[in-house]
C-alpha cells in the first residue's frame, strides 16, 4: 500500500516524538487543575469499581436464587446491582463532563501556544510553508490532540475495570482466569503490534488534510485571478490532486483498522468459547458453581469490551498522538533569525551600518554578496536597481525578517542580533507595496500602529496623509468597515491606510518598500508631502522605482546582482554617467513632468544625449 502515500511528504521541521515525550509535554497544561484532576481520577476509580461489582453481584444473585434460602438476600442483591449500575453510570457522566471541560481548556492553551509559535517564525518559514497548512496545525491538530485526553480517561476507566475483574476472577477460579488472561494478553499484543503502522498512517492522513486546507485557502484568496484568467477548471483539477492524496491516505488508514477489527473479534470469540468449555466442565464436575460460571460469562462482555474499545479508539488515539507530534513540531521549531541577547531598545537615533553582509534565501542561491552601507541618522536613502538586484533583501535584513549568513548589521552602534527583537521591530515603521488590512474598520487598522491610541490621535494620523481628503471618499470615514485584506478598498486607499498607520506609530526609522508604486500620480504627490513631513529627523530607507521618490533622497544607492555599485545624490550620479544614469534613461526619465527643468547630463556624453530611447520611444 506504499503507493497510497505517494506525494504526501512531511514538512521539513517535522519530528517524531515518543509517547512518554508527548505525555511530558502535555503535563504542564494541567497545572492549576489539581482539584479537577483529583475528582476525575476518583470518579474513574469509583465508576470502574462499581462497574466491576455488577457481574460479581449478579453471580451471587444466581447462586442465591438456586439455593432458594428465602431469607430476603435475593432482593438485597438485586437492589445492590441496581445501585452499582446507577452509580457507575452517574460517575461516568460526571467524569466525562469534568474531563470535557479540562480538554477544552487544554485546547485553548495549546492553540494559543501553537499560534504564538506560528507568529514568531521568521519570514523564511512563512515563505516555505503555505498558510493553510500552518492553520491546520493551529486548529485541527490542537483539537485532535486535546480529544486524546478524554479518550485516555475513558480508556483508563476501562483498563482499571479490567484489572479489578481479572483480580476477582483469579480469586474465584484460577483455571478460568488463566484462560481469560491468556486471550487478553494476545489481544493486547496484537494491538501494540498494530500501533506503529496506525501512527504512521494517521500522521500521513493529517498531513494530507493540511495540504487540502492549504490549497483551498490559497485558491480562495486568489479567486479573482482564477476568474479573470478562466482558471476555475485548473483550480478544480488542483483540488482533485490534493484531495486524491487525502483520499488515498484515508483509505490506507481505513484498511488498517478494517483488518485489525475482524482479528480482534475472532480472538475474543475464541476466548469466549474457551471459557464456556472450561466453565461448563467445571459446573458439570462440581468444581465451579453456576453463579461463578455466569460471573465469567458476564464478565467476558465487560472484559472484552474494553479491549475491543481500545482497538476501536486506536484510530482516534493514534490521530491524537500524530496531531500532538505536528503541534509540538511547530512549537519547537526555532526561528532562523537568532538573537544573541535581549538588550532593551531605547528610542533609536536611526544610524544603520551594514558591514560585508552576505545573504541567501538558501545556501545555493546567494542574493547579497558583501554589502556594506552606512546610513546616517535622520537621512533618507533610496535603494534602486533592476528587479531581483537585492534591494528588498537589504531592508528585510534590517527588519530582521531573515537571518544573514555573514557580516554584521548595527543600529546606533549596537549589533542588531543583540537587541530585544520585539522592541526593535516597534522602532521600524514599515510600508510595503501590497499592504494588508485586517477585518474591522479603517480606524482599527490605523490603530494597529500604536495600540491604545485615542480617537483624536487616529484621526490626526489619517489626516496627515494626502491632506485627509481621502477620508471623504469613504462611505463612513474612519468607521468604514474593512474586510479581510481590505479588499473592499482600492489599492490606493489601502496604501494610504498603511501610511496613516505608520504616522501613528511614530517610529524613528521608516522603511518604504515600493510604498507608492501602486498609487496614481496625483495621490502619490499628496502622499509625498506627508512623507516629507514624517521623514523629518527620521532615518528613511526607500526601495523605489518612482523618480519623485528617488530624486528627493539624500543618498541614492544603486544595487546590482547583490552588490552596491554606486552611491551619491541624484545630480552627482547622473553626472557620472554610470549605472544610475542607465537606470534613469531606461526607467526614470520618462516619469519626469515636461515642465521640469532638464536633468544634468554627462559632460562626456555625445551631444545628442538629450534624446534617449525609453521602451522604444524618444523622450
Report residue 537's pLDDT band, with 50, 70 and 90 as the boundaries.
Answer: confident
Q: Give the number of other Cβ atoms within 10 Å of residue 217's Cβ.
A: 16
In angstroms, the CA 62 to CA 76 distance is: 13
Q: Per the structure block, which three cell numbers stand in for 44?
A: 474513574
Residue 220: is its pLDDT beyond 70?
A: no
User: With a threshold of 0.85, does the pTM exceed it?
Assistant: no
Report residue 304's pLDDT band, with 50, 70 and 90 as the boundaries.
Answer: low
pLDDT in tens, 245-272: 777 777 777 776 666 667 777 777 777 7
**pLDDT value of position 395:** 92
pLDDT, average across residues 398-419: 92
pLDDT in tens, 91-111: 888 887 888 788 788 888 888
* Highest mean predicted confidence (pLDDT) among 231-245, 366-380, 427-441, 509-523: 366-380
Backbone angles phi, psi at 387, to 5 degrees: -60, 130
Judged by average pLDDT, the poorest of 158-167, 444-453, 457-466, 602-611 is: 602-611
- Residue holding cell 479537577? 36
Q: Per the structure block, which three cell numbers stand in for 133?
A: 497548512
Give the strand pairing for 365-375 and 352-362: antiparallel
- Residue holding cell 476509580? 45
**pLDDT value of position 103:** 78
Residue 588: is its pLDDT beyond 80?
A: no
Q: Boundaries of CATH 1.20.1560.10 in the chain?
A: 2-332
pLDDT, average across residues 265-286: 74
Topology at the third CATH level for domain 2-332? ABC transporter transmembrane region fold (1.20.1560)
Q: Boundaries of CATH 3.40.50.300 in the chain?
A: 352-427+507-618, 435-506
Please give the distance of CA 350 from its chain centroid, rounded to a whole number: 34
Q: Name 557's bridge partners.
A: 383, 567
Residue 120: is its pLDDT beyond 90?
A: no
When the pLDDT of each residue in the chain is averaged and rounded to a whole number, the result is: 77
In angstroms, the CA 175 to CA 243 distance is: 53
**pLDDT value of position 195:** 63
CATH of domain 352-427+507-618: 3.40.50.300
E strand intervals along 363-405:
365-375, 380-384
pLDDT, average across residues 410-433: 90
pLDDT, average across residues 319-323: 77
Q: Name 564's bridge partners.
A: 559
The CATH architecture that domain 435-506 belongs to is: 3-Layer(aba) Sandwich (3.40)
pLDDT in tens, 185-204: 777 777 667 666 666 777 67
**pLDDT value of position 618:** 34
Backbone angles phi, psi at 416, to 5 degrees: -60, -20
Q: 346-378 burial by CB neighbour count: b if 16+ within 10 A, else e? A: eebbbbbbbeebebbeeeeebbbeebebebebb
Amino acid at each position: 500500500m506504499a503507493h497510497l502515500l505517494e506525494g504526501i511528504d512531511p514538512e521539513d521541521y517535522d519530528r517524531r516524538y515518543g509517547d512518554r515525550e508527548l505525555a511530558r509535554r502535555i503535563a504542564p497544561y494541567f497545572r492549576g487543575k489539581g482539584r479537577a484532576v483529583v475528582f476525575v481520577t476518583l470518579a474513574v476509580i469509583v465508576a470502574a469499581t462499581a462497574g466491576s461489582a455488577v457481574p460479581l453481584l449478579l453471580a451471587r444473585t444466581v447462586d442465591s436464587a438456586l439455593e432458594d434460602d428465602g431469607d430476603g438476600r435475593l432482593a438485597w442483591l438485586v437492589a445492590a446491582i441496581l445501585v452499582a449500575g446507577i452509580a457507575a453510570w452517574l460517575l461516568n457522566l460526571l467524569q466525562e463532563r469534568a474531563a470535557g471541560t479540562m480538554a477544552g481548556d487544554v485546547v485553548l492553551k495549546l492553540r494559543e501556544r501553537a499560534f504564538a509559535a506560528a507568529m514568531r517564525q521568521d519570514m523564511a518559514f512563512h515563505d516555505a510553508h503555505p498558510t493553510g497548512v500552518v492553520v491546520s496545525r493551529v486548529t485541527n491538530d490542537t483539537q485532535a490532540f486535546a480529544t486524546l485526553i478524554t479518550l485516555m480517561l475513558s480508556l483508563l476507566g476501562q483498563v482499571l475495570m479490567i484489572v479489578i475483574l481479572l483480580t476477582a476472577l483469579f480469586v474465584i477460579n484460577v483455571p478460568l482466569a488463566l484462560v481469560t488472561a491468556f486471550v487478553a494478553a494476545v489481544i493486547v499484543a496484537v494491538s501494540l503490534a498494530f500501533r506503529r503502522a496506525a501512527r504512521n498512517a494517521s500522521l500521513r492522513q493529517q498531513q494530507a488534510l493540511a495540504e487540502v486546507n492549504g490549497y483551498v485557502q490559497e485558491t480562495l484568496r486568489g479567486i479573482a485571478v482564477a476568474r479573470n484568467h478562466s482558471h476555475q477548471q485548473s483550480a478544480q483539477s488542483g483540488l482533485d490532486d490534493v484531495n486524491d492524496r487525502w483520499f488515498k491516505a484515508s483509505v490506507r488508514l481505513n484498511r488498517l483498522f478494517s483488518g485489525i477489527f475482524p482479528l480482534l473479534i475472532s480472538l475474543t470469540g475464541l476466548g469466549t468459547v474457551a471459557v464456556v468449555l472450561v466453565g461448563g466442565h467445571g459446573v458439570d464436575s462440581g468444581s465451579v458453581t453456576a453463579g461463578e460460571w455466569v460471573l465469567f460469562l458476564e464478565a467476558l462482555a465487560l472484559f472484552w469490551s474494553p479491549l475491543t474499545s481500545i482497538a476501536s479508539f486506536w484510530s482516534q488515539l493514534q490521530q491524537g498522538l500524530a496531531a500532538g507530534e505536528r503541534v509540538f513540531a511547530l512549537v519547537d521549531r526555532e526561528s532562523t533569525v537568532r538573537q544573541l541577547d535581549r538588550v532593551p531598545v531605547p528610542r533609536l537615533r536611526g544610524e544603520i551600518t551594514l558591514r560585508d553582509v552576505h545573504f541567501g534565501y538558501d545556501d545555493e542561491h546567494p542574493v547579497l554578496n558583501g554589502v556594506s552601507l552606512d546610513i546616517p541618522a535622520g537621512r533618507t536613502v533610496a535603494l534602486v536597481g533592476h528587479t531581483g538586484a537585492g534591494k528588498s533583501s537589504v531592508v528585510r535584513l534590517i527588519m530582521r525578517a531573515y537571518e544573514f549568513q555573514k557580516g554584521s548589521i548595527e543600529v546606533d552602534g549596537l549589533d542588531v542580533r543583540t537587541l530585544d527583537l520585539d522592541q526593535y521591530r516597534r522602532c521600524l515603521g514599515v510600508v510595503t507595496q501590497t499592504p494588508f488590512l485586517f477585518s474591522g474598520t479603517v480606524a482599527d487598522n490605523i490603530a494597529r500602529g500604536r495600540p491604545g491610541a485615542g480617537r483624536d490621535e487616529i484621526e490626526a494620523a489619517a489626516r496627515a496623509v494626502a491632506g485627509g481628503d481621502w477620508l471623504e471618499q469613504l462611505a463612513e470615514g474612519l468607521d468604514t468597515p474593512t474586510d479581510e485584506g481590505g479588499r473592499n478598498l482600492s489599492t490606493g486607499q489601502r496604501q494610504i491606510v498603511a501610511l496613516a498607520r505608520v504616522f501613528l506609530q511614530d517610529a524613528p526609522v521608516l522603511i518604504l518598500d515600493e510604498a507608492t508604486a501602486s498609487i496614481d500620480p496625483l495621490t502619490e504627490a499628496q502622499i509625498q508631502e506627508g512623507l516629507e513631513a514624517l521623514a523629518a529627523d527620521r532615518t528613511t530607507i526607500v526601495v523605489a522605482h518612482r523618480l519623485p521618490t528617488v530624486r528627493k533622497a539624500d543618498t541614492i544607492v544603486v544595487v546590482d546582482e547583490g552588490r552596491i555599485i554606486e552611491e551619491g545624490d541624484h545630480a552627482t550620479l547622473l553626472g557620472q554617467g554610470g549605472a544610475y544614469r542607465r537606470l534613469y534613461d531606461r526607467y526614470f526619465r520618462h516619469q519626469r513632468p515636461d515642465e521640469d527643468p532638464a536633468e544634468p547630463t554627462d559632460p562626456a556624453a555625445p551631444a545628442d544625449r538629450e534624446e534617449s530611447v525609453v521602451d522604444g520611444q524618444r523622450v
